[in-house]
Amino acid sequence: MTTKDLQGAEVVNQHTGEKWVYSSTVKDHFFHPRNLLLEDPAEGEFDAIGLVGSAACGDTMMIWLKVDHTTDQITDLKWRTFGCGSAIASTSMFSVMLTENGGMKIDEALKVRPQDIMTRLAGLPNRKIHCSVLADKAFRKAVNEYFRASGQHHRVQVDGAKVIDKRLNITDKDIEEAVLEGAQTLEEVQQKLKVGVGDPEALPEIEQLIRFYKEKYYG
């Protein structure tokens, strides 16, 4: 394919050299998404939920996670998103990768990169690469919820965040998300996170963060 052939092409597939917008694999996962869950599951059906984004200001992603407590393998992963075709296809493929062949172990699944998803999809347009990150963020949030629910606080991922409650490994980002989800008081944040319950020395900083995020997002 010559430079002249590429002129006017919106996107060139980095894997095949073809001019396209979406590969046939991307289209397949967009029109026939795997593991999509359109209705909320029954209470207790899954071990953890991860939600990122806000429908009020952009894409959102929710992931439900079920784990074999004995083997640490992911036995089921369902998802729902308010996002574009690339977000749908990326998450569909991501869910397949984590659950195929009996399911990945959590530590293995946490090593899956957005680039790995794009390889399985036969590429994405560069301007859509960020869509493959949405599922990863929601998955990591679900994994952290699972770790906390199962008492594995030492395994909680805290990259790029400040740990506020050292006993439960809860960060300032967790508190920020709780406020964004509607928690307005210390009691409401504690209902979501149990933050500060076993670490009373953290309470002043927790209350300060709640006030800060309330003012930041709600005025």
- Catalytic option among 38, 55, 56, 57: 57
pLDDT band at 1 (very low <50, low <70, confident <90, very high): very low
Structural domains of the chain, ranges and CATH numbers in brackets: 11-151 (3.90.1010.10), 158-218 (1.10.10.1100)
Alpha-carbon gap, residue 213 to 130, rounded angstroms? 26
The active-site residue out of 74, 131, 170, 189 is: 131
Distance of CA 62 to CAs 24, 92, 136, Å?
Answer: 25, 12, 11
**What pLDDT sits at residue 205?**
95
Query: Measuring CA to CA, which residue among 178, 85, 182, 79 is closest to residue 135?
Result: 79
Dihedral, CA of residue 140, residue 38, residue 76 and residue 46, to nearest 10: 80
174: left (phi over 0), alpha (psi -120 to 50) or beta: alpha
For 189-200, how does the pLDDT look when each residue is reduced to its tens digit (9 = 90+)? 999 888 988 888
84 is catalytic: no
Instruction: For residue range 32-72, list pLDDT tens digits in order.
Output: 999 999 999 999 999 999 988 765 545 788 999 999 999 99
131 is catalytic: yes
